[in-house]
Structure 1
Amino acid sequence: MRRSVVRGTGHYLPERVVENSYFESMLDTTDEWIRSRTGIERRHFAAEGEFTSDLAIAAARQALERAGMVAEDLDAIVVATSTPDLTFPATATIVQAGLGMQRGFAYDIQAVCAGFVFALSNADGLIKSGQADRVLVIGAETFSRIMDWTDRGTCVLFGDGAGAVILEAVEGEGTSDDRGILATDLNSDGNLRELLYVDGGVSRTGTVGFLRMQGNLVFRHAVEKLAATAKRVLDKAGLTPGDIDWLVPHQANLRIIVGTAQKMQLPMDKVVLTVADHGNTSAASIPLALSVADTQGKFKPGDVVVTEAIGGGMSWGSVVLRW
């Protein structure tokens, strides 16, 4: 069986760091209020003239360097984003040109905060089917461009950034002992779309719009659905929660992460946390966290890593892989 093995990771964060105190002069909020409810202490905002593709290209270059590859070694690029540079073409094609890649193909996937999980699963399908041998998977967002700065319930939560992972085809035995992606689990329920959405769009309003969220309802769905998808993906791979070495969750809210880990009976010392420094970077949050943890040397060859995320749609899912 062809397996999709991680060969390199990379990430990029804009230079501008925004502490919680920044919002105190604008909104009825405090640093303590934000920290206690979200675990967020700071986030990064893209500079004027710095686009989602710029963040993605920077993360991709780091991943290529770490993998010992160049852009021409790639067969495909899949970018997960809800904040593309343009309505079209796909941001992935802008990244392709920026990297100097003149072969293969590139396209975007949109599943909001679950976007990277969907993109990773999609890239795994390309590799398993033989359509590609090496795929660059990127999550990149500039959510600061869709914030309503008068809404304290949303604008303090999000940040900008990008993370990248390079997958390469390797022959495995078809067992849970193989390295690479072992199983994926994807879900969505359009009946819940009004819990988290942007109130603008090309067809409906002709505007970009602002992010809107019913936070309490999203929280309740998140813990239940994230724990359930993690259990399903482990079952598919023939593994149990006891086999997990690292959980790399979507970095939306510390309380959601802790609640999910408790449902999975997983100690917090096995959970990668970056939410305090990055905020919620939507589709970028998991690859950012993967790259940061990889840089810190947390992952050892053979470690079982589970990623899981939930976002607007609602869409949610998980991936289990052996490092």
Structure 2
Amino acid sequence: MITLGPVSTAFPETSVAVTELTELAELTEARRAHALALGIETVRCATDGAEQDLAVAAAQQALERAGLDARALDALLVVGGRAPRYLMTSEATRLQHRLGADRAFVAGVGELGCASISAAFTLAAGLLRGDPRCGTVLIVAAASAPTRFRYRAPMTVLGDGAAAVLLSTAATGRYQLVDHLVRSDGKYADLFRIDYRDVPQREWREECADEATYSFRLAVESRKRLAAMNDELLGRNNLRLQDLGPMLMQNLSAGAFSFWEEALETRVDRVCHRNLAEFGHLGSVDVLVNLEAAARHRAPGDHVLLLNSSPVAAWSSTLLRRLPDRHHEGIEL
């Protein structure tokens, strides 16, 4: 059995109301109205270069809650941020050094946007199942806005934060990783992009190459993909979507939640709505924040469906089972 948890998060102290974002003055009236109608009330804003510090804080807390010394960690998977601070450097091994995880196998995981965390689940599960010497894998993800513009048209508003989760073969986590699927389609590989070569950083802007493709073609394909993936995943585990509680997913907008509820004929857990309002979109960090929040009101034995997607495009469907809470040195995991 592979267990997932504990999950730990780290956020900047600075919280800014979306209505106070200075970039709103640079938007058209229609764009400004859209940004304010996404269901996002505040976002956390990190100082320049703080992304690695947030990742370290989340990782250290996850290890502490698991009662695991970093030197005993078997593998460390680092989900790459939205924009690396430097080219030709390794954020993954830098984090390894700061944690003191000297004996861990280390790898960076990326290229799938928000779904990169889902790819990390796949790699972690492969390591745990395929190598009898590997019993613990720590996944760490951090996100900070890659440009000075936090509004990503026509999708969401970006916040900053980090999260870490331990996957292991010991029954000490929040959830059992029951089953997992990840799919991708390169037709949309550069639908969202930042042109940064020969462009001053202050002028960097994340752009959607074709908003109609994002809003219609990709939306239709995503609905078909996730519906088929859910059918496959649940079918081979003798479950029905209707038998599960509200699904969990990444946080983009209130409109996106409504779209998925209608498309899949199920509900999105209220913790997703609350975290969307408080933190905005956190990329790969979203699903970990939501998993931790949902654990507080899911009973042991409950199955949980976790969906994730990105405009790259990539999609994932993960089936989890809530485990009984365990304690280590008086700290609830």
Same fold (TM over 0.5): yes
Q: Is the 8 A contact 1:78 1:119 kept in 2?
A: yes
For residue 207 of structure 2, give the secondary structure of its aligned residue in structure 1. strand
1:176 equivalent in structure 2? none
What is the distance in 1 between the residues matched to 2:236 and 2:195? 37
Residue 175 (structure 1) aligns with: none
| Unaligned segments of structure 1, at least 5 residues | 172-178
Is 2:193 the counterpart of 1:190? no
Q: CA deviation at 1:6?
A: 1.7
Q: How far does the alpha carbon of each residue in 1:273-322 deviate from its partner, in whole angstroms, 9 at most, with x for none?
A: 3111111111111112223334xx22333221222222142122121111
Structure 1 stretch 152-161 or stretch 130-139: which is displaced more?
152-161
Say whether residues 1:94 and 2:94 are aligned partners.
yes
Indicate the residue corresponding to 1:252 in structure 2.
252
Identity %: 26
Where in structure 2 are the equivalents of 1:1-323 lying within 5 Å? 3-23=1-21, 24-28=24-28, 33-36=34-37, 38-50=38-50, 52-83=51-82, 84-110=84-110, 111-130=112-131, 132-142=134-144, 144-148=145-149, 153=153, 157-170=157-170, 180-200=176-196, 210-213=205-208, 214-220=210-216, 221-222=218-219, 224=223, 225-269=225-269, 272-273=272-273, 274-294=275-295, 297-323=296-322
Give deviations 1:74-113, integer Å, cap 9, x for gaps: 2111121243343344322222111121211111111111
Aligned pair in 2 of structure 1 residues 85, 244: CA closer, same or farther (>3 Å)?
Answer: farther
Residue ranges of structure 2 left out of the alignment (5+ in a row): 323-333
1:190-215 CA-to-partner distances (Å, cap 9, x unmatched) read 112232233347xxx79875422244
SS of the residue corresponding to residue 40 of structure 2 reads coil
Query: 1:197–1:187: structure 2 CA closer, same or farther, 3 Å change rule?
Result: farther
RMSD (Å), alpha carbons: 2.8
Count how many residue pairs are aligned between Structure 1 and Structure 2. Answer: 305
- 1:174 aligns with none
CA distance in 2, matches of 1:237, 1:282: 29
Rate the CA distance shift 1:182–1:152 in 2: closer, same or farther, 3 A: closer
TM-score normalised by L of structure 1: 0.83
Which whole-Å CA distance do the structure 2 matches of 1:322 and 1:219 have between them? Answer: 33
Q: Residue 49 of structure 2 aligns to a residue in which SS?
A: coil
- Matched-pair contact (CA < 8 Å) for 1:138–1:287: no
**In 1, are the aligned partners of 2:11 and 2:162 still within 8 Å (CA)?**
yes
CA distance in 2, matches of 1:229, 1:91: 32
Distance 1:313 1:39 in 2: 23
Change (3 A) 1:105 1:65: same
TM-score by length of 2: 0.81
Structure 1 residue matching 2:235: 3-state secondary structure: helix
> Which range moves more in the overlay, 100-109 or 192-201?
192-201
Q: For the Cα contact (< 8 Å) 1:247–1:305, is it kept in 2?
A: yes
